[in-house]
Structure 1
Amino acid sequence: MFVPARVWPGIPEGTEQRALVDRNADPRAWLAAVYSNVPLTTQWDKGEHQGDEQGTTPTSSNSLPSMVFTMLSDLDVEDGHRVLEIGTGTGWNGALLSHRLGAENVVSIEYDPVIAEQARENLAEFGPPTPLVVTGDGREGFADRAPYDRVIATASVGDVPIAWIEQTVTGGVILAPWGPLYGGEAIVRLTVGDDGHARGRFTRSSAFMRIRQQRPELPEPGVFFRGRTWPADGRISTTTLSPTAVGGWLAQFVIGLQVPGAFWRTERYDDGAYTLWTYDIAGDSWASADYVPEASSFDVVQEGPRRLWDEVEAAYRWWNGRSRPGFERFGLTVGPRSTVAWLDDESCPVPGAEWLR
């Protein structure tokens, strides 16, 4: 009822998409995809891509069903709760909430007007009554129906909007996929306090599309070299930490907490070797670390005011020295002036993991 005729099925873990499945061309394959535990990409490149091949960037999807259900379990709604959903998508999640709480208690915000209208049509077929679907910027919430007992986001953020806290009752819950620029992501469950802050732990790993207004424009590699050839003016050294150690989803998350404003790319070669490039979003610092199979040390080059590989390595060794705690041991405190990440409780902030508004 909610999935469109043309979808690109994903995989249960990760962000890879398979080939197009078209209901009109192969209804059995489409039905099998719809009832599989995989995410389904429903839009590429903000709707600008219309072909059968994959586009450049997926911009809307029907989420992994098991993730939908576990997030709704984390949300822990009760009879009479009012819920604000950020990211309507196909309307399926809003329909589940409406079925549980009554459509009059659900508001859903969708930034893309085409997707919002299709969701309204889907929900009208499911209803009536239907939840209110608002076309707008989800970061602003929807004050006209506030306050809410629960806020749930179905697109990831790197900065929890303060409007979500302001529009949630004291003791209410905000549930959102959250991740740093560097990579890694998990579902954070925040409880709103009477001090204007929301705090809570992460519950599970996730991999959602970023909310559109928080997708940064990343500098191209040429910006860092400005016509110069590698290694430019970089400082050459070696490390015993393999670049493969820092590539896992959880490792990326922990590094991202401590190395703000950094992102990475890989350059792969035929023999299994590769170069891990780390860049500063400011465009003035970079680092390369060369992985060679079976090697025990690896060449590193760094240039700029930040020694990015040194930062990455220090963050990894901090995590490794604490027996590599999982997502569920980390938490956030979000307030009007800053966001702070911590390990186990607020008395143990993660080094460098404070972001001012």
Structure 2
Amino acid sequence: MWAPDGGAPNGFRPAEREKDPERWWSLVNADDVVVTQLDDGAEDGPGVPTSSASMPSLVASMLQHLDVRDGCTVLDIGTGTGWTAGLLCARLGSQAVTTVEVDRDVYLQAAKSLAAAGLLPVHQHHGDALLGWPFGAPYDRIHSTAAVQRVPRVWVEQTKPGGVIVTPWGTPYANAALLRLDVGERGQAAHGRFVENVSFMWMRAQRPPEMTGPQAAPTSHGASGIDPDLALERVHAAFAIGLRAPLVRYVHTWDEADPAGTYRMQLSDGHGSCASVRYHDWGGDGAVQQAGNRRLWDEITIARLRWQEEGGPELTRYGVTIAADGAQSVWLDEPRNVIRRHVS
């Protein structure tokens, strides 16, 4: 596994059971995330976690929302270390659990762990779980340990009427929610609410586009209409902003010579539109710079003000509907109050 280390070039250092068993067990037994892969397994990468064992208390909470019952069959998406699949096997029996992992090396290691724990013959497969696993469908429950921006239509199709899908869900701006989706009868929409604040690694095929720099000189300059701190003040505000500012990502940058005076939020939609806003003297001329077809900071500002006008709703007041054709809509309080639509 990989332990955080601010002194390492990529921010992590390996922790191996054979070489440092005390350190290894302290990481395993903590109620925290254990990073098990960086950079999709590539060597000399920047140090981006790409596979992990999730925080135990969060796994317990997710399984509680999944609400498995005797006789249930479950599709577990994102095998990872195999731990969640193992818990489901212990509860339901190995024959009732199907688990799918996209990364071959991760898949092979999980197979060894599940075998060592005596949990075979769990139905374990290597493949793209965005396609589900049709050969064992339909399932009573689908459980994902990777975040999506859009719930795949096939997940709904592979769930029995009356079944449940639990998955992390987010936007590039705020990967922040856990969705519990109730599946209706065939040909009917599935509806669900966000049940708590979580943050998971993205499903690989739905990772947001990389941040891009401005492709042209800024075409808009001016003062900010809000304090930039308000754009990330609370997870609920950030979540609502992400719903109304599709594809937008952010990073923070500064000049080491003057961190306080140069601290900025940089925004990009991955398609040529960029913006930045200065935190210091945000109401001054030139605090905001924007370029491209979209005015990204204007969108963020409007979305934050709209959230405030709505009373500052927490993310658990939002929900998702998946139509029979796969179109996804996000709503506030009830399905007819649509905030955002996405056609699959």
TM-score by length of 2: 0.91
The structure-2 alpha-carbon separation of the partners of 1:207 and 1:128, relative to structure 1 and needing over 3 Å to count, comes to: closer
Q: 1:77 aligns with which of 56, 68, 81?
A: 68
The structure-2 alpha-carbon separation of the partners of 1:271 and 1:139, relative to structure 1 and needing over 3 Å to count, comes to: closer
Q: 1:119 aligns with which of 110, 115, 127?
A: 110
CA contact (8 A) 1:9 1:33 kept: no
Which residue of structure 1 lines up, in the alignment, with residue 254 of structure 2?
268
CA contact (8 A) 2:11 2:47 kept: no
Q: 1:103 aligns with which of 94, 97, 101?
A: 94
Q: Which amino acid aligns with 1:348?
A: N
1:281: Cα distance to partner? Answer: 1.9
Q: 1:307 aligns with which of 295, 306, 309?
A: 295
Please give the secondary structure, in 2, of the residue aligned with 1:354.
strand
Which residue of structure 1 lines up, in the alignment, with residue 38 of structure 2?
44
Please give the secondary structure, in 1, of the residue aligned with 2:178.
strand
Q: Does 1:8 align with 2:22?
A: no
Which residue of structure 1 lines up, in the alignment, with residue 315 of structure 2?
327
Output the CA distance in 1 between the equivalents of 2:341 and 2:292: 23
User: Structure 2: 5+ residue runs without aligned partners?
Assistant: none
1:208: Cα distance to partner? Answer: 0.6
Please give the secondary structure, in 1, of the residue aligned with 2:251.
strand
The structure-2 alpha-carbon separation of the partners of 1:76 and 1:128, relative to structure 1 and needing over 3 Å to count, comes to: closer
Output the CA distance in 2 between the equivalents of 1:134 and 1:141: 11
1:132: Cα distance to partner? Answer: 0.9
Please give the secondary structure, in 2, of the residue aligned with 1:204.
strand
Output the CA distance in 1 between the equivalents of 2:141 and 2:106: 23
User: Structure 1: 5+ residue runs without aligned partners?
Assistant: 1-5, 11-15, 226-231
Moved more, 235-244 or 174-183: 235-244
Output the CA distance in 2 between the equivalents of 1:314 and 1:188: 25
Q: Does 1:93 align with 2:84?
A: yes
Q: Does 1:252 align with 2:231?
A: no
The structure-2 alpha-carbon separation of the partners of 1:102 and 1:267, relative to structure 1 and needing over 3 Å to count, comes to: same
Q: Which amino acid aligns with 1:331?
A: G
Q: List structure 1 runs of 4+ shifted beyond 3 angstroms.
A: 16-20, 295-298
Q: Which amino acid aligns with 1:249?
A: V
1:172-251 to 2 correspondences below 5 Å: 172-194=163-185, 195-222=187-214, 224-225=215-216, 232-247=217-232, 248-251=234-237
1:251: Cα distance to partner? Answer: 2.6
Q: 1:339 aligns with which of 316, 324, 328?
A: 328
1:22: Cα distance to partner? Answer: 2.4
1:102: Cα distance to partner? Answer: 0.7
1:65: Cα distance to partner? Answer: 0.7
Please give the secondary structure, in 1, of the residue aligned with 2:260.
coil
Output the CA distance in 2 between the equivalents of 1:233 and 1:29: 49
- Count matched residues: 333
Please give the secondary structure, in 2, of the residue aligned with 1:190.
strand
1:90: Cα distance to partner? Answer: 0.5
Q: Which amino acid aligns with 1:349?
A: V
1:196: Cα distance to partner? Answer: 3.7
Which residue of structure 2 lines up, in the alignment, with residue 145 of structure 1?
136
1:219: Cα distance to partner? Answer: 4.9
Q: Which amino acid aligns with 2:207?
A: R
1:277: Cα distance to partner? Answer: 1.7
Output the CA distance in 2 between the equivalents of 1:46 and 1:196: 37
Output the CA distance in 2 between the equivalents of 1:140 and 1:215: 16
Please give the secondary structure, in 2, of the residue aligned with 1:22.
coil
Output the CA distance in 2 between the equivalents of 1:39 and 1:130: 27
RMSD value over aligned CA atoms? 2.0
Q: Does 1:134 align with 2:125?
A: yes
Q: Which amino acid aligns with 1:250?
A: H
Please give the secondary structure, in 2, of the residue aligned with 1:203.
strand
